[in-house]
């Protein structure tokens, strides 16, 4: 068995690639590439999660993408393995007064089921 080095995932025309580039974790979301301090990696009992900030508009919102990275191994002799996981796009409403200035729900979530391959 071999460790997974790169994940290629998709859903409804959206494409995400997560892996290592020059020894550093990188995430590609559509045509944007995030690395270094742009990535927030968190290991939990449920698995590894990586979050990137997609958009920040002062006094309006912050949009983030969080990808669940499933633990997997390549079967002996296989070049890749099928992967099914999910990503969450969260939109945090903001105001100049902070979250206290937001009426109602502050953060909303869109959950997307992703499929693809890893190697």
Domains and CATH numbers, the chain: 2-118 (2.40.128)
Q: For the segment 81-101, what is each residue's pLDDT rounded down to a tens digit?
A: 999 999 999 999 999 998 899
Whether the model clears a pTM of 0.85, i.e. scores above it, the answer is: yes
Tens digits of per-residue pLDDT, 55-78? 999 999 999 999 999 999 999 999
Question: Which three-class secondary structure state does DSSP give residue 71?
Answer: coil
Q: What's the pLDDT at 1? A: 65
* 17 vs 20: CA distance, rounded Å: 10
For 71-75, which contacts have Cβ atoms below 8 Å and span 24 or more sequence positions? 71/47, 72/4, 72/118, 73/1, 73/2, 73/3, 73/4, 74/1, 74/2, 74/3, 74/4, 74/118, 74/119, 75/1
């Amino acid at each position: 068995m071999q460790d997974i080095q790169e994940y290629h995932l998709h859903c409804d025309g959206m494409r995400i690639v997560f892996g290592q580039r020059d020894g550093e974790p990188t995430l590609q979301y559509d045509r944007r590439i995030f690395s270094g301090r742009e990535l927030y990696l968190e290991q939990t009992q449920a698995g590894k999660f990586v979050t990137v900030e997609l958009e920040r508009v002062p006094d309006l919102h912050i949009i983030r993408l969080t990808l669940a990275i499933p633990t997997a191994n390549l079967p002996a002799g296989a070049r890749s393995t099928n992967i099914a996981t999910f990503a969450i796009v969260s939109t945090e409403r903001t105001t100049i007064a902070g979250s206290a200035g937001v009426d109602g729900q502050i953060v909303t979530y869109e959950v997307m089921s992703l499929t693809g391959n890893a190697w």
